[in-house]
């Protein structure tokens, strides 16, 4: 089968099937063999691995994964791509294509059935609007994960790996860093895709921690605190939290907790580290 990392082969497949790109699915197909190699090596895919690929498109990345992995399960939401995938992946007997919405797939059951409950590797090229729900869904579901290696918009990748005090730092940074170690492995310019997106992309690998780096009694409560403190970025932490209906804490409670941590009463949420949010959550 023709290597789809070659732009002409991708164009041929799209034209042959009369495929129409759908804006709602944020479809941009990768046409750069170097980037494809980089993703497979960053994910550390070996012949022992089950890889879950989210959004295979026409199967470009899937071909590379199928060569490297024991088995690939590719989940594609767009039914118009299924006949194309069946053709471009016809030579591989270790690929299963599911025409599903990844947010509705029982990934834990899949990992149990196809990988005996051992950690799986996830590879994806995700549109902007669905990046956070997919990543958080994977982490929060308790699915056994080794790492998630994903292509996302450059600014989203930056946001996942920054620390306190930067403008990109926010709830996503903290959520990702609670579950995993983030590392940008490649920056990918728009000309590596068909059609060309308007913004640059990056490949980021999130390596799952065996256990979170902070001790927190109730992670759900901590994330509610984090969301409340970034919902109104310009407010002080005291005001942001005492005005948030989902945080059952009075202004006085918050002031006392912040004082106990040796922090200034005028501090903003964006100045706190993950450790400090954990401590605050435990105090409240």
Q: Residue 12 maps to which CATH number?
A: 3.40.50.150
| Residue 263 and residue 188 share a domain | no
pLDDT above 70 coverage of the chain, percent: 100
Q: Mean pLDDT score of the chain, rounded to an integer?
A: 93
Q: Are residues 273 and 183 in the same domain?
A: no
Same domain, 164 and 88: yes
Structure tokens at 67: 């060569």
Distances in Å between the Cα of 165 and the Cα atoms of 24, 177, 267 are 34, 15, 11
Taking only the tens place, the pLDDT of each residue in 124-156 is 988 777 888 999 999 988 899 999 999 999 999
121 lies in the same domain as 42: yes
Q: How far is CA 216 from the centre of its chain?
A: 23
What is the domain range of residue 156?
A: 7-208
Tell whether 253 is covered by a domain: yes
214 falls within a domain: no
Q: Do 195 and 172 share a structural domain?
A: yes
CA distance 89 to 123: 17
Beta bridge partners of 150: 124, 204
Q: Is the pLDDT of residue 1 over 70?
A: no
Give pTM, 2 decimals: 0.92
For residue 222, pLDDT over 90 is answered with yes
Confidence of residue 245 (pLDDT cuts 50, 70, 90): confident
Q: In what helix (H) or strand (E) does residue 147 lie, and over which residues does it extend?
A: strand 145-153
Q: Using one digit for the tens of pLDDT, what is the confidence trace for 44-91?
A: 999 999 999 999 999 999 999 999 999 999 999 999 999 999 999 999
pLDDT category at 231 given cuts 50, 70, 90 is confident
Q: In terms of domains, do 118 and 189 share one?
A: yes
């Amino acid at each position: 089968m023709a290597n789809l990392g070659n732009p002409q082969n991708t164009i041929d497949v799209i034209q042959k099937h009369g495929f129409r790109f759908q804006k709602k699915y944020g479809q941009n197909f990768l046409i750069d063999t170097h980037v494809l190699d980089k993703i497979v090596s960053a994910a550390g895919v070996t012949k022992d691995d089950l890889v879950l690929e989210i959004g295979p498109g026409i199967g470009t990345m899937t071909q590379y994964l199928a060569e490297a992995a024991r088995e690939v399960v590719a989940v594609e939401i767009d039914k118009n791509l299924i006949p194309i995938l069946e053709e471009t992946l016809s030579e591989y007997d270790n690929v299963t294509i599911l025409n599903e919405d990844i947010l509705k797939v029982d990934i834990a059951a899949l990992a149990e059935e196809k990988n005996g409950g051992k950690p799986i590797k996830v590879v994806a090229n995700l549109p902007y609007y669905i990046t956070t729900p997919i990543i958080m869904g994977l982490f929060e579901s308790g699915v056994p994960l080794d790492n998630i290696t994903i292509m996302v918009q450059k600014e989203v990748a930056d946001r996942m790996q920054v620390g306190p005090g930067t403008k990109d730092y926010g709830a996503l940074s903290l959520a990702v860093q609670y579950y995993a170690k983030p590392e940008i492995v490649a920056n990918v310019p728009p000309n590596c895709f068909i059609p060309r997106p308007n913004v640059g992309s990056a490949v980021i690998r999130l390596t799952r921690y065996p256990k979170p780096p902070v001790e927190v009694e109730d992670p759900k409560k901590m994330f509610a605190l984090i969301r409340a403190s970034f919902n109104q970025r310009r407010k002080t932490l005291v005001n942001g939290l005492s005005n948030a209906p989902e945080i059952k804490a009075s202004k006085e409670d918050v002031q006392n907790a912040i004082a106990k941590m040796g922090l200034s009463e005028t501090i903003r949420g964006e100045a706190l580290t993950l450790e400090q949010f954990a401590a605050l959550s435990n105090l409240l």
